[in-house]
Amino acid sequence: MVHHKVLPMKALFLIAAATSALIALPAQAEVYRQVDDNGNVTFTDEPDDNAERVNVKPVTTITMPRPETVEQQLSEEEEGIGDQDAYESVGFTSPTEEEAFWSGGGNVEFRVTSTPGLRQGHRFEVTMDGTPVGQTRSGAVTVNNVFRGTHNAGVNVIGPDGERIFTGDTISFTVHRPSVQN
């Protein structure tokens, strides 16, 4: 199965910008108008004896970038190549490292942030004890019915295709819940 990519607006802008940035080269050639015995008019660059020269304004030509080059650049942008350098940090604002708290229902709300802010197409992925528990663009993920005890949480920045772009530090927190035996 062949998949065709529709060029996004960004690609069209890049093509237009590249086109307008190129130097226009005038092309000049001799053009002649000829009329045969039946009255048919033709234009040519190889005149016969009855041809008359036509003054043609110079034609502007441009050289477009190869489609492979444009597709490669767009692919690299969309895949986030170089995005690893886009973030200085990503981490939790809640819970904090070594925080202990009571939660009767075992609900834990994770709040995450990054410096600089989350880029378009990216999202945060929160993990708990090594397992992904949610993804968000808003910076908040709630996990219900977390068992009591100490847990580790991590946060990653995930790109448009699900690739991990940046990983923050892991924190440890403790959930206190009533025991069934009490």
- As a whole number of angstroms, the distance between CA 134 and CA 143 comes to 8
Amino acid in the structure at residue 96: T
More confident residue, 150 or 50: 150
10-33 residue pLDDT tens: 555 555 555 554 444 344 568 888
More confident residue, 155 or 64: 155
What tokens appear for 60 in the block? 């502007």
Q: Domains in the chain, start-ordered, CATH in brackets?
A: 9-78 (no CATH), 86-176 (2.60.40.10)
| 108 CB neighbour count, 10 Å cutoff | 22
More confident residue, 112 or 44: 112
126 pairs with which residues across the strands? 134, 155
Instruction: Work out the average pLDDT over 56-75.
Output: 67
Instruction: Work out the average pLDDT over 137-146.
Output: 94
**For position 30, what pLDDT does the model report?**
82
Range with the poorest average pLDDT among 67-81, 138-152, 162-176: 67-81
**For position 135, what pLDDT does the model report?**
94
- As a whole number of angstroms, the distance between CA 27 and CA 63 comes to 13
